[in-house]
Amino acid sequence: MLNPASAHGSSAETPLLQAIGITKRYGTFLANDSIDIELYAGEIHALLGENGAGKSTLVKMMYGLIQPSAGELRWMNRKVVLAGPSEARALGIGMVFQHFSLFDNLTVAENVALGLDGKESFAAMSARLAQVSNDYGLPLDPKRDVWRLSVGERQRIEIVRALMQNPKLLILDEPTAVLTPQEADQLFIVLERLRSEGRGLLYISHKLEEVKRLCGTATILRGGKKISTCNPRAETAASLARMMVGADIGEVKAKTARATTVPRLVIKDLSLAPDDPHGTYLHTISLEVKGGEILGIAGVAGNGQDEFFAALSGERLSGAEGNVVIDGEAAGLMSVTQRRRLGAAFVPEERLGHGTAPRMKLSENALLTGHAASGMVNHGFIDRPATLETVDKTTKTFDVRKAKRDPEAVSLSGGNLQKFIVGREILREPGVLVVSQPTWGVDAGAAAVIRQALLDLSGRGTAVLVISQDLDELAEIADRIAVMFHGRLSEPLVAASATREKLGLLMGGSSVSQPEPTVEVSHAVGA
């Protein structure tokens, strides 16, 4: 372990890592524009900004994944050029990425070994892995297959693998995005311990209350430039968001009182085997969503949400037509197109590849989901002006920022592409909308636009089902919240009484019985 370091504040103290005028150009585009930042031992330093602000580019240069176009990095006051991550790790820089880099069919120890230098035997490394994970309150069984682990346990692997390299500086990108509230609280204890040991931490997160709780310093980027360095504890979440976005973010709230009507989406006794050997069985799920209501489905990723979305959208057909009913029509055996013709709309979690075809234009992507229930196709011929009109209307209504009228989907930032995908479905005025992770990985401004649009849509009588890992999001927009755990659904709770603690326990399986250790689909709690 490192020697504890005093909290920085003395001008004589040397930063662990210093970026001086760091610039990164991609052609004429400036991803980072002369950024200065200092990271100290014994400090948790937040890096904040909208999607596309330049955060990922900056930390990739700090970790040696890409090279700066100008400026320099200094490690403990010595100029360094990092040719790759191995050189960064050799200095003492570790990184925990937002998206896991794990092989499901390998064990915990085998996955960890792939990220180390191989200088110790596999047996010695496995023993050290068990010791380090237990010492930091992140216990792992080195012999377990990764595919058997929860998402929270997989996050532990990434963190422990970094800790086994004994880093002086640890970069963490959205580390709580897939954790239950209880798992996040445990992680905060670990991070505070690392700070007290004298390690520096660079913490990237969209969760501003989390940043205020953990971090003593924050650097804010906007449009590739550094806007401010501040003490986040002296700011409000609103003031931090204002610095990130450059404007006030409107409050998300229902504009009028919403009155619920009859159930417009009914799921009854839905059981479904996964089409992936590592997928999750759905166990006898029953649920009703009324017109004018937003019903949230909480849960840690990998507990059946993908399979549930596929069953509702028609990408996977259920066992009986009555398993899914849309506005009174039995739709369990209908295709996606047939369900859209009933007035349903669907927004999947993955923006590129599932929600859109990356190399196709926005108008072409609008056609892919809109041809079944819009005026884009007449007598078998595509109405090109109608597809462009959909793009224009979505762009204007949802403030989709793009370089030209009809670019390829892949050219948009994550937040702008998400606004386009959600917007094109909402503008159809569907009777039922099923949306998965509507604001996943988007900035506060885009998230507010999307959440307000969902509230407004439900206010016009649509039944909205939102699958989300973000409990703050569900608390903000949902009327009722149910939790999915191991393919089973809890009884929905009225949102006003669904505390984070109660939902966190359900997300960990405390009140939902464990699935049978067999491939047979068994009865479960209905909702």
Q: Where residue 137 falls among pLDDT bands split at 50, 70, 90? A: confident
Mean pLDDT of 211-231: 95
Q: Where residue 514 falls among pLDDT bands split at 50, 70, 90? A: very low
Mean pLDDT of 117-129: 91
Q: Which residue has the tokens 């239950």?
A: 180
pLDDT attached to residue 22:
97
Strand-pair partners of 171: 95, 202
Q: Domain spanning 17-92+166-245: which superfamily? A: P-loop containing nucleotide triphosphate hydrolases (3.40.50.300)
Please give the residue that has the higher pLDDT: either 113 or 519.
Answer: 113
Q: What is the pLDDT of residues 249-308, one digit of tens each?
A: 778 887 767 778 899 999 999 999 998 888 899 999 999 999 999 999 999 888 999 999
pLDDT attached to residue 468:
94
Say whether pLDDT at 5 is over 60: no
pLDDT above 90 coverage of the chain, percent: 68
- Spatial strand order of the sheet with 329-330 comes to 282-290, 263-272, 324-326, 329-330
Say whether pLDDT at 9 is over 70: no
- What is the C-alpha to C-alpha distance for residues 98 and 114, in angstroms, rounded to an integer? 18
Enumerate residues 6+ apart whose C-beta is below 8 A from 185.
none
- What is the C-alpha to C-alpha distance for residues 61 and 170, in angstroms, rounded to an integer? 14
Write down how long the chain is: 527
Mean pLDDT of 132-139: 91
Q: Hey, what are 196's tokens?
A: 């007290």
Please give the residue that has the higher pLDDT: either 137 or 284.
Answer: 284
pLDDT attached to residue 426:
95
pLDDT attached to residue 206:
85
109-129 burial string, b = 16+ CB within 10 Å, else e?
bbbbbebeeeeeeeeebbebb
Q: What is the pLDDT of residues 433-470, one digit of tens each?
A: 999 999 887 777 888 889 999 999 999 999 999 999 88
- What is the C-alpha to C-alpha distance for residues 35 and 71, in angstroms, rounded to an integer? 8
pLDDT attached to residue 194:
95
Mean pLDDT of 186-192: 93
Say whether pLDDT at 518 is over 50: no
Q: What is the pLDDT of residues 363-379, one digit of tens each?
A: 999 999 998 877 899 88
pLDDT attached to residue 94:
94
Q: Where in the chain is the domain with CATH 3.40.50.300?
A: 17-92+166-245, 251-343+432-527
Which pTM was predicted? 0.78
Say whether pLDDT at 4 is over 80: no
Amino acid identity at 197: E
pLDDT above 70 coverage of the chain, percent: 94
The upper half-sphere exposure of residue 347, i.e. CA atoms within 13 Å in the direction of its Cβ, equals: 30
Q: Hey, what are 305's tokens?
A: 């949400």
Say whether pLDDT at 403 is over 90: no
pLDDT attached to residue 511:
62
Residue 230 phi, psi dihedral angles, 5° rounding: -145, 175
Q: Where residue 150 falls among pLDDT bands split at 50, 70, 90? A: confident
Neighbours of 220 (CB within 10 A): 24
- What is the C-alpha to C-alpha distance for residues 23 and 58, in angstroms, rounded to an integer? 9
Q: Hey, what are 255's tokens?
A: 């504009």
User: For 251-343+432-527, CATH number?
Assistant: 3.40.50.300
Q: What is the 3-state secondary structure (H, E, C) of 310-375?
A: HHHHCCCCCCCHHHEEECCEECCCCCHHHHHHCCEEEECCCCECCCECCCCEHHHHHHHHHHHHCC
Cα–Cα nearest to 48, from 196, 259, 235, 189: 235
Cα–Cα nearest to 447, from 418, 423, 468, 424: 418
Q: Is 240 helix (H, G, I), strand (E, B) or coil?
A: helix
Say whether pLDDT at 482 is over 60: yes
pLDDT attached to residue 183:
85
Q: Where residue 51 falls among pLDDT bands split at 50, 70, 90? A: confident
pLDDT attached to residue 515:
43
> 283 to each of 68, 247, 344, 457, how far by Cα in Å?
51, 46, 24, 30
Please give the residue that has the higher pLDDT: either 66 or 380.
Answer: 66
> 522 to each of 277, 385, 515, how far by Cα in Å?
18, 51, 8
pLDDT attached to residue 524:
36
> Beta strand 463-467 with 294-298: parallel, antiparallel or unpaired?
parallel
**Residues 506, 490 contacting (CB under 8 angstroms):** yes
- What is the C-alpha to C-alpha distance for residues 352 and 213, in angstroms, rounded to an integer? 33
Q: What is the pLDDT of residues 303-338, one digit of tens each?
A: 999 999 999 999 999 989 999 999 999 999 999 999
Q: Hey, what are 476's tokens?
A: 């903000």
Please give the residue that has the higher pLDDT: either 1 or 181.
Answer: 181
**Residues 136, 168 contacting (CB under 8 angstroms):** no
Q: Which residue has the tokens 């009109």?
A: 389
